Amino acid sequence: MSSPSYPLLLDIAGRRVVMVGGGPVAARRAAPLVDAGAHIVVVSPYLCEELAELVAAGRATWLPREYRAGDLDGAWLAHTATGDRLTDDAVTAAAEAARIWCVRADDAEQSSAWTPAVARVGDVLVAISGGRDPRRASRLRDAVQAAMETGSLPLRRRRRDGAGSVALVGGGPGDPGLITTRGRQLLTQADVVVVDRLAPRTLLDELDPDVEIVDVGKVPGNHPVSQDEINRLLVEHAVAGRRVVRLKGGDPFVLGRGGEEAAACRAAGVPVEVVPGVTSAVAVPSAAGIPVTHRGLAAQFTVVSGHDGLDWPSLARLDGTLVLLMGVSRLRESTRELIEHGRDPATPAAVVEDGYGPRQRVTVGTLATIGDLADERDVRPPAVVVVGDVVTLAAPPVDHGEVAP
């Protein structure tokens, strides 16, 4: 049975660490030490490429010779990885005599210290010992790393450090599985979440009960919280030292007014991070089997808001696919404008409702018919309108004039 060990994190910034050996194993051990700010001294007659790069960059010192007695003088920690047992024995004995912790690469039983497998996300570090079984430790580390990255483990800081921040997180088209890993991490660490109507709201159920949820959802024709007020809320909470996540549907910079929110935060001196999301302009059509580009049909696509003030003559002349977001309420006007300015009335068109949601439904027609079809079927937002030949690729059972459940 292995002797008991005591886990401890060390601050080795600026402290001398002696690495005996110049091969790849020594390089793997040296890299995290350098990242932690240690003063690394490598003792070896040769260096592998990775260690040579550290020395050339001034991040390590090289003594180009064999190990000698006295090389550990002034060291706080020693690593030996020469591959020569007699040398490693000598380093281990010298370290023991000098009361210096020593990590030995070739024989864990002879070491007085061991390097754990490490999982790290942001400022959270988890060190894992596999009972001196490195493969076991690596597998455990990988599982913990994945759980932290996907937000399955509670990463939220309970003790505030006084530094507030804002993250503009794109939540994707609504399915909670389509948020990015980074977005999920930040959400699990948030003190305040300012959430839109079309964001993946089921993720909120997983947050701690004391996380403040601020609902600023908008529905067509009803915006109870103005954009200026949203900007003010983000800044106010961050200045108070809270970590704020602005959770949006789609991507925050694709017709999501994320640029305005980021500018407001920066103007107030608040750190802001933008996490891209899967935009509904591409994802929702793909849920219906409609690619926005396809060889031989469309080499480009254009995304616009379906609201007033569009340059319809220019849009009608564009090649490729036209995607209208927030375009259901003005669908008839939009299709009429496109036809009046030269777009063929027979151009295929589709409306995809509630992409990736429980009400997902696809209505397919042409520019000339899609307005009537949408009325007949009581098409409602959220929905994405797609105009172009790529609509002909819609997945079965969608046919002209039919609705897919």
Give me the active site residues, please: 196, 218
Question: What CATH homologous superfamily does 165-278 map to?
Answer: Tetrapyrrole methylase, N-terminal domain (3.40.1010.10)
The predicted-structure confidence for 57-67, as pLDDT tens digits, reads as follows 999 999 999 99
Q: Residue 42, SS3? A: strand
Distance CA 337, CA 311 (A): 10
- Sign of the C-alpha dihedral computed for residues 367, 368, 371 and 373 taken in this order: negative
CB 74 within 8 A of CB 16: yes
| Amino acid letter for position 147 | A
pTM of the model: 0.71
Distance CA 211, CA 71 (A): 53
Given this model, what pLDDT does residue 398 score? 45
Given this model, what pLDDT does residue 194 score? 96
Phi and psi at residue 206, to the nearest 5°:
-90, -5
Residue at token pair 């930040």: 186
CB 334 within 8 A of CB 370: no
State the architecture of 281-404 in CATH terms. 2-Layer Sandwich (3.30)
Does domain 16-114 bear CATH number 3.40.50.720?
A: yes
Partners of residue 385 on adjacent β-strands: 324, 351
| Amino acid letter for position 13 | A
Q: Residue 210, SS3? A: coil
Distance CA 154, CA 113 (A): 29
Phi and psi at residue 8, to the nearest 5°:
-155, 135
Distance CA 79, CA 85 (A): 14
Distance CA 253, CA 276 (A): 8
Q: Which helix (H) or strand (E) holds 304?
A: strand 301-305
Phi and psi at residue 340, to the nearest 5°:
-65, -25
Angle between helices 181-189 and 134-149 (to 10 degrees): 80
Question: Domains of the chain: which residue ranges?
Answer: 16-114, 116-149, 165-278, 281-404
Q: Residue 213, SS3? A: strand
- How do the pLDDT tens digits run along the chain, 405 residues long? 455 678 888 999 999 999 999 999 999 999 999 999 999 999 999 999 999 999 999 999 999 999 999 999 999 999 999 999 999 999 999 999 999 999 998 888 888 888 888 888 877 888 888 877 778 888 888 898 888 887 777 777 776 667 799 999 999 998 899 999 999 989 988 999 999 988 999 999 888 889 999 999 766 555 678 999 999 999 999 999 999 999 999 999 999 899 999 999 999 999 999 999 999 999 999 999 999 999 999 999 999 998 768 899 999 999 999 999 999 999 999 999 999 999 999 999 999 999 988 889 999 999 999 999 999 999 999 999 999 999 999 987 543 344 444
